[in-house]
Amino acid sequence: VKHPLSNRWTLWFTKPASGKGDNWNDLLKEVITFESVEEFWGVYNNIAPVSELALKSDYHLFKEGVRPEWEDPQNKHGGKWSYQFKEKRNISIDDLWLHTMLAAIGETLENEEDGEVMGVVVNVRKAFFRIGVWTRTTGRHVPGRGDGDVAGGKGRSPEKGKEILMTIGKRFKEVLRLPATEQLEFSGHTDSAHSGSTRAKAKFVV
């Protein structure tokens, strides 16, 4: 018996650049799509844990049909909640990433009808591990049919949009077991793209 997930999810991997000529697109690889709990464990048990990945690797787990890129139509008006774990030796990154993936595929980060969560990401970097949740909007209404304007965004007031994002942030903070003294930050992808990195100014904190 297979236990179906509410959505089909695709795992992606960013391999570390080997030379100077490598660009983002050459490094991003689609790994596999699954649609049941059993298939998820099959994938999980057969891939390298985050703790064994080389520096500059990423895993991305996104809803099927959404590329884990700012440019994707469903991401381009969006942003992400993220946290950098700087004490790399003292944290159980494999557990944190597993629980982040389970929260995503189990749809516990949001109320499903909100349709904000696009995917989750882990980055392995020299000075930190970063885990993030990507959302379809930055809280505001997203205009334009077919351009990221999927179910859930229409007719939402800015207050409601922000409330939905704040709820995702709070739930994600619990998944990461962060103490109240630590801050999770939300930033828009366009800000990330312009600053040339993910270190864009936080729009919201939780």
DSSP 3-state of 30: strand
In 3D space, the residue among 122, 152, 123 whose CA is nearest the CA of residue 139 turns out to be 152
State which residue, 33 or 84, has the beta carbon closest to ligand M7G: 84
Task: Decide: is 24 part of the binding site for ligand M7G (CB under 6 A).
Answer: yes
Query: From the CB of residue 58, how many other CB atoms can be counted at a distance below 10 Å?
Result: 21
Residue with smallest beta-carbon separation from ligand M7G: 69
Of 125, 56, 122, 133, the closest CA to residue 88 belongs to: 125
* 181 is an interface residue for ligand M7G by CB under 6 A: no
Report the number of secondary-structure helices (H) and strands (E) in the chain: 5, 8
Residue 68 or residue 139: which is nearer to ligand M7G going by CB? 68
Based on the shown chain and the rule CB under 6 A, indicate whether residue 99 belongs to the binding site for ligand M7G.
no
Pick the stretch among 31-39, 90-98, 155-163, 193-201 that binds ligand M7G (CB under 6 A). 193-201
Could you say which of 30, 71, 107, 182 contacts ligand M7G (CB under 6 A)? 71
Between CA 47 and CA 140 the distance in angstroms is 37
The footprint of ligand M7G (CB under 6 A) covers 24, 69-71, 123, 125, 196-198
